[in-house]
Amino acid sequence: MKGKSEKRSRRKAHINKVLKNSTKPRLCVFKSLNNIYVQVFSPDNKVLAQVSSLSKELKGKIKGHAGNIPAAKIVGSEIAALCVQKSITEVAFDRNGYIYHGRVKALADAARENGLNF
């Protein structure tokens, strides 16, 4: 039986195989137990934008625990607003091996609602 980390690394390898030939900027998600982080990378791996639940601007908006679904929605809407401000509308979504469920899905839906296409 495979462990949780082995399953995630297999999914991550498959996602990276698909995304490595993409010419769009890559929206990459990382989540820990307490926080959620999002970065937008250019095709040559330079960071174009980043938002996390730890940032000072979001501390007032996030009520309670920063690693839950409402916090992920706030982070998703903030990254979308930042990308639209920098005229980035098309991105490739890199869920980093995480299952598209819960916080990852909430972040993606909030980013789509606020102007990002993926």
Mean pLDDT within 48-77: 92
pLDDT digits (tens, 9 = 90+) for 23-37: 999 999 999 999 999
C-alpha to C-alpha distance for 27 and 91, rounded to whole angstroms: 6
In total, how many domains does the chain have? 1
Q: Tell me, what CATH number does 56's domain have? A: 3.30.420.100
Which pLDDT band holds residue 1 (cuts at 50, 70, 90)?
low
Mean pLDDT within 36-45: 95
Cβ-based neighbours of 17, under 8 Å, separated by 6 or more:
none
C-alpha to C-alpha distance for 95 and 109, rounded to whole angstroms: 13
In order of 15, 46, 72, 79, 102, the CA distances from 61 in angstroms are 32, 28, 11, 14, 20
Q: What domain range is 53 assigned to?
A: 4-113
- Going by DSSP bridges, is the β-strand pair 36-41/47-52 parallel, antiparallel, or unpaired? antiparallel
Establish if 41 belongs to a structural domain. yes
